A and B are shown apart, each in its own frame.
Chain A
């Protein structure tokens, strides 16, 4: 790996629908195929289900739904990014994984104000370089459960 100076970081880029997103490679433990996912009824809408990852139970989150884009359809290209978040492994379902790029902080700008609400809250910035735009995911906030849209379906009225 390249010797990171403080203002460059390696980012994995992936697709959600048509849009390109990126997440810090250092935060991703591994990328796995979708395999078999057990649905969890009454879970928040952005939770696809749970999956066996070498004996561990991993919650898989539909990153599309989480970003309030369209919920993703699982295709042969779909992948799950496994990220660690305070002792728990969480899977992020994405449409397909592209490549890794080195981002330079100088080329990262705050999310444009035209992005409203959730989407901007879950982004830590937009990277502009090599002729493309990559929205950088803020891992901490996207994995949080306390945001208002993450309402857990805990009451029985919707049953």
Chain B
């Protein structure tokens, strides 16, 4: 018996095991009315595993498979009806079997005692008392003459006896009777199974050695076969000579046994089970069968000599459609013909023939490639198959009820893709079951059906495969995600403000974010959706979310069909080329030499790149892998070794760290140190901005080449540990290049998504704080094409891009249907004397909140964000709807006042006007002190902000005293200490800062409880802590009118109630 047969057994068992789970679940679902064919199928599968393991001497596999078989038989014969408990045990048994089959070498170490007992007890509990014994008893059948005895469980023997079948004991010689005849033993079993049942078999390895004949010449095999066929027919089926077959049991000879098994069977089963051979045909003499007590038999099972060739058995195999194989054969033939054509063309030096051959080879190659790719395609059902079980087990554990629908199992994907998809899908489904779908009671409470729905659907769409996972659970609450991200410092507060709900939901892909409030043992083990995204990135796929709070979530994964051939960008570092998967490439960037200084900064010991409004880590590829970098000498046009180790070293020599890349030799190679330096200054930076998961960074190379479709080939085992490469490929010119793994490389460069982006974020904040102390972010848009306008970014909720046809005119007003309601729209031209809105198709709607109403300001594209020091001229262009003007990007820019615009166009929105009906919460205050005597003290050094904030406060019904710095404010306060009810102050001010002001106020005997609100465009946690220490009660963002007034009122209320 050779490896091949064993491999076949392993593979066959795997196939059985892969379908059993789904079948069992279907049986459980349908209960008593389960399709008997299905039960039979599972029974057969268990039986076939038992048969094979018995042949190969895999005792543990055999034991489990047999016990599972027994239970399945009881289900089949309706002695037992399926319930979840039974399914659980059976599933566990098949799990264990799978574990053993998948790792045949480690089989001996597997402990099956508990499971085995569990199965036995289960079977016993459904048997009448008298028959329980048959579970543990064995029947030993021994042959005449030499050869092993066959020990088989009594229950099987009884079963076939009761079914009225003949039982034969057949003696084979494995070598001569079977293998020498070219029969594969497994296939032989399978054939036998068609007309009966192979109950058991035993091989005698010892006998083989002790015989006189040359070693290895004989291998006795005993087989117990039950069938309804008798006589000569049986002989034919069994492919054995008459004298090799013994009829152990003949139903016709022992009819009384069938009808009345009682007397002999349980107590003294032994001799009676050995029926005298009343032979019906030319079937030979019977044998003695005796029952043996349980412990004995195991010893008789031949030691698994067969278990030896096992080590390599986990090798992968793949089934290929024969038609496809034929097609490939044809193509291979074509290829040979084409080669011959090429040969003769070369021999004749005939250019025309050459080009014909070239064409032909080209075509055949691509067809062949296509055919071979198709052999790798597998149905996605292979990976989806495990989910019914997963969902069932999880929902049982969580006390939920979930109906799982799986659609599109047949959609084919590349093998590697299927494997890579397993983890992310599992994670998302766990999430859906655990966090998405609510508990039964909660569902009923919110009026949903108690049974939750989970849908997994795969389909082809535009050359891609789309996999959707949808649940009807509670959805993803964008606010909770945003709060969590903010609390964990994963995102800056001002970034959040401009985000739509959808963007906020997408934050769940940030590393380190988990929205589950409690960590359950089912999901939420610290790995989150970021891992899902990273995994999918690896597969070249994308994932997006659509989620409505209360309604459910939909995750849509898009995948390319295959991984083996990927488009990639070829780049150079030093004299070496590398390939980067196109899927990771975000953009290519060239920073001209004169801008390098401006755009590359150093944080700690690493570099960052200013990319538009973002700051991303920068990795000098040559430094990471240790390639000697080169640069193009602008004078000679030649590549020269670049000795620069770090981009920044020309500015800060202390950063010249050791770089293994630049050997000492190169010093001599360069003509003159200073000359080299000058050249470097002239060299621009070639940067590939790459993304992986949520991490984005820039990789500096020496030059870029083309993009090429490359075939990914794995690296050998000596190089498997290198995470920075995902493989190698052979380029068109025959050179081998390494393919970079962007994730691995980031680890190598010690950029993890957290440290990298957090560092960049920290840098961003530092930069903001240092240089942009009084800088404001503005959203730039256009009114007329030549009229640039801006609005403070802080006041913007989000920006939507729409088509001008979506704008509806009704009653002289513009509205936009938006998320199920009408969004009032205004334009600058409605109110202010400006040119009318640019008549283009694409418009931007800048959504802000005015008095709690969402209002959209229409602007023309392009829309951009700038950060700039404000020097707002509040005179020249001031008019209703326009605060003033500023010079932004060397252009006069009108700054819109949305509040005024709305007030003029939709007076009723603003009408619960402050002065006529003051906010309710102010009422108690006004009772306590007449409104005329209640002032808010405002300290702010920027004229623009001061006047704006003052206006807000006044419009909200407050009287305001204002001061241009802390000192002036302090003086005002000292004079009016009884009239001032609250202080609103900027932090950074000349003469006295806001914090100092706060400290002084708190030190003043009369002002201990005076509410203080600090204003800031950027408030980090440190700032807030410092502010608290100084006595600040609350932080608010400048120009966020609604929040400022709300915050003020809340503080007031608190003071009042104290």
Contact = CB atoms under 8 A, between A and B. Distances in A.
B718 interface: yes
Most chain A CB inside 10 Å of its own CB: which residue of B660, B719, B730, B750: B719
Contacts of B624: 159
Contacts of A159: 623-626, 748-750
A74 interface: no
A58 interface: yes
A43 B719 contact: yes
A68 B976 CA distance: 87
B210 interface: no
Given A38-B737, A152-B721, A159-B624, A57 B715 contact: yes
Given A38-B735, A43-B722, A156 B749 contact: yes
B718 A47 contact: yes
Given A44-B718, A154-B721, A159-B623, A52 B748 contact: no
A145 interface: yes
A88 interface: yes
B738 A40 contact: yes
Interface residues of A, number: 28
Nearest to B737: A38
A40 B725 contact: yes
Interface string A29-50: 0000000101111111001001
A38 B738 contact: yes
A59 interface: yes
Contacts of B625: 41-42, 159
Contacts of A61: 718
Contacts of A58: 716
A57 B716 contact: yes
A59 B719 contact: yes
Nearest to B728: A57
Most chain B CB inside 10 Å of its own CB: which residue of A41, A44, A57, A153: A41
A94 B714 CA distance: 25
Most chain B CB inside 10 Å of its own CB: which residue of A36, A44, A153, A159: A159
Contacts of A42: 625-626, 722, 724, 748
Contacts of B725: 40
A52 B738 CA distance: 12
Interface string A50-67: 111001111101000000
Contacts, number: 83
A51 B738 CA distance: 11
Interface string B735-764: 111100000000111100000000000000
A145 B717 contact: yes
Most chain A CB inside 10 Å of its own CB: which residue of B717, B723, B734: B717
A52 B719 contact: no
B722 A40 contact: yes
A38 B576 contact: yes
Interface in A138-159: 145, 150, 152-154, 156, 158-159
Contacts of B626: 41-42, 159
B627 interface: yes
Nearest to B312: A86
B713 interface: yes
Contacts of B722: 40, 42-43, 152-154
Contacts of A39: 576
A90 interface: yes
Nearest to A154: B721
A55 B747 CA distance: 30
Nearest to A157: B750
A40 B719 contact: yes
Contacts of A150: 718
A88 B716 contact: yes
A38 B728 contact: yes
A47 B734 CA distance: 21
A38 B716 contact: no
Contacts of B728: 38, 50, 57
Nearest to A90: B716
A35 to B, nearest CB: 9
Interface in B67-93: none
A74 to B, nearest CB: 16
B723 A154 contact: yes
Given A52-B735, A159-B626, A59 B718 contact: yes
B735 A57 contact: no
Interface in A120-137: none
Contacts of B716: 50, 57-59, 88, 90
A42 to B, nearest CB: 6
Nearest to A44: B718
A52 B717 contact: no
A57 B245 CA distance: 57
A19 to B, nearest CB: 23
A64 B728 CA distance: 25
Nearest to B721: A152
Contact of B718 (A38, A56, A145): A145
Contacts of B713: 56-57
Nearest to B724: A42
Interface in A89-119: 90
Contacts of B623: 159
Contact of B736 (A38, A43, A145): A38
A51 B749 contact: no
A145 B718 CA distance: 6
Contacts of A51: 736
A52 B719 CA distance: 15
Contacts of A59: 715-719
Nearest to A35: B734
A145 to B, nearest CB: 5
Contact of B627 (A41, A55, A88, A158): A41
Contacts of B736: 36, 38, 50-52, 57
B17 to A, nearest CB: 26
A32 to B, nearest CB: 14
B744 to A, nearest CB: 10
A102 B231 CA distance: 63
Contacts of A40: 715, 719, 722, 725, 738
Given A40-B725, A41-B626, A57-B730, A50 B719 contact: yes
Contacts of B749: 156, 159
A88 B738 contact: no
A43 B725 CA distance: 11
Contacts of A57: 713-716, 728, 730, 736
Contacts of B720: 145
Contacts of B714: 57
Nearest to A88: B716
Contacts of A153: 722
Contacts of B724: 41-42
Interface in B700-736: 713-725, 728, 730, 734-736
A84 B35 CA distance: 52
A39 B627 CA distance: 10
Contacts of A47: 718-719
Contacts of B734: 36, 52
B628 to A, nearest CB: 11
Nearest to B575: A39
Contacts of B738: 38, 40, 50
Contacts of A145: 717-718, 720
B600 to A, nearest CB: 20
Interface in B31-70: none
Contacts of B715: 40, 50, 57, 59
Contacts of B737: 38
7 contacts: A38-B738, A43-B722, A47-B718, A57-B716, A57-B730, A59-B719, A159-B626
Interface of A: 36, 38-44, 47, 50-52, 55-59, 61, 88, 90, 145, 150, 152-154, 156, 158-159
Given A41-B724, A145-B720, 9 more contacts: A40-B725, A41-B627, A52-B734, A55-B730, A57-B715, A88-B717, A156-B747, A156-B748, A159-B624
List 9 A-B pairs, minimum CB-CB distance, nearest first: A59-B716, A152-B721, A41-B625, A38-B736, A156-B748, A57-B713, A154-B721, A57-B728, A52-B736
